[in-house]
Structure 1
Amino acid sequence: MIQRIQSVYLLLVIIISGALPFFVTLWKDAEGAAVVALDEPFVFGMYIGSSALAIIALLAFKNRKLQFVLGRLNIILNFILLGLFVYWSLRVPGEMNISEKGIGMLLPIISIVFLVLANKAIMRDENLVKSVDRLR
């Protein structure tokens, strides 16, 4: 299971979306207080959902098609989260209390990159198994 490269990529996604958002600042509000994922319930749920999908995909190593579908769903979830961050950061400053953006807003981009790499490795494995089955 862990000897495959997609398992390493999925493990990195679990760390990025499961642990880092709770330590890394998403943004600073108007008073200068740092906002992390625990302060925003919707963002917290999205990060936990992304981490849960990556854990399920990691544990479904025998079913590559399910792994691939879960990776795609996780990519869509991270794009929604990224779109939400972009929307919040581009709103008029009086409407949303974001005064300074933090590094936490880039975490969905890093997760998407690792998920795309994991999906490519999963498809490579699937194509290898299909080519071996043709020879039988």
Structure 2
Amino acid sequence: MIQRIQTIYLLLTFAISAILFFLFPLWTLENGKVVYFMESHLYTILLGLSTMLSVMSIISFKKRQNQFVMNRLNMIINLSLLGLFVYHSLNLSGETPAVSEKGIGMFLPIVAIVLLVLANRAIKKDEDLVKSADRLR
């Protein structure tokens, strides 16, 4: 259902994990080489999982509990992706952290996590509303 706010949050999360990582680099090396997420298979797999979970969560709008769990799993994937980005950027071979330039693509998982938290809050609010309506019956 597109009219629910959590669907909008999940569509934005999908856009971040499916589209924006292609546009924004993760970091730039001191020799001027721009590094995107496609350089590593692990980054590609984790972003694919995140995108897939976002789509599955959008499709399963009738099962709010499953949607909630999928969003939590997506948050864990994005946290691990962010951790890998930070670890790799701090351990670039032969560089100090001040030399390489961090790109905006490295911080996109943070935005995705915030959107997933907002979606889970909206799902919880819907679930509470349904439970309160069931009590009145």
Do 1:93 and 1:99's aligned partners in 2 also have CA atoms closer than 8 Å?
Answer: no
TM-score in terms of structure 2 length:
0.92
Structure 1 vs Structure 2: percent identity of aligned residues? 53
Match of 1:88 in 2: 88
Q: 1:22 to 1:95 in 2, by over 3 A?
A: same
Whole-Å separation in 1 of the counterparts to 2:13 and 2:53? 10
What per-residue deviation string (whole Å, max 9, x for no partner) do you get for residues 41-60 of structure 1? 21111111111100000000
Residue ranges of structure 1 left out of the alignment (5+ in a row): none
Whole-Å separation in 2 of the counterparts to 1:53 and 1:16? 13
Q: Which residue identity lines up with residue 128 of structure 2 in the other structure?
A: N
> How many residue pairs get matched?
136
1:64 lines up with 2:52 in the alignment = no
Whole-Å separation in 2 of the counterparts to 1:67 and 1:53? 9
Do 2:27 and 2:89's aligned partners in 1 also have CA atoms closer than 8 Å?
Answer: no
Match of 1:116 in 2: 117
How far off is 1:7 after superposition? 0.1
How far off is 1:91 after superposition? 2.4
How far off is 1:95 after superposition? 7.4
Q: Secondary structure at the residue paired with 1:77?
A: helix
Q: Secondary structure at the residue paired with 1:62?
A: coil
Residue ranges of structure 2 left out of the alignment (5+ in a row): none
Q: Which residue identity lines up with residue 85 of structure 2 in the other structure?
A: F
Do 2:53 and 2:71's aligned partners in 1 also have CA atoms closer than 8 Å?
Answer: yes
